């Protein structure tokens, strides 16, 4: 049976981001939410690489089960 991610929080992480490469935590265990800190090592989880091309506000998924990962789609409202 596939392990489910840990729900980091039942709300998005809304952050102002600059252009660059980001690695979104898919396992939910990172201490640096919403970003990966390597806590997934030894599991089947893989962080999601996201290229941001312009400075903007981003709503990163906090529940880890969005249908639009790494971004929030409101799935947390049904958990």
CB atoms within 10 A of CB 42: 7
Q: pLDDT (tens digit, 9 = 90+) per residue, 19-56?
A: 999 999 999 999 999 999 999 999 999 999 999 999 99
In sequence order, the β-bridge partners of residue 22 are: 50
pLDDT digits (tens, 9 = 90+) for 55-66: 999 999 999 999
Among 61, 72, 71, CA closest to 30: 61
Would you say 37 and 24 are in contact if contact means Cβ atoms under 8 Å apart?
A: no
**Collapsed DSSP state (helix, strand, coil) of residue 76:** helix
Ordered by start, the domain boundaries in the chain are 13-78
**pLDDT at residue 1, rounded to an integer:** 56
């Amino acid at each position: 049976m596939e392990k489910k991610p840990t729900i980091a929080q039942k709300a998005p992480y809304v952050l102002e981001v600059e252009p660059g490469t980001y690695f979104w935590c898919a396992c939910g265990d990172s201490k640096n939410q919403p970003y990966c800190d390597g806590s997934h090592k030894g599991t089947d989880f893989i962080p999601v690489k996201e290229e941001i091309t312009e400075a903007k506000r981003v709503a990163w998924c906090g529940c880890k089960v969005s249908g639009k990962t790494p971004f929030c789609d409101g799935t947390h409202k049904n958990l």
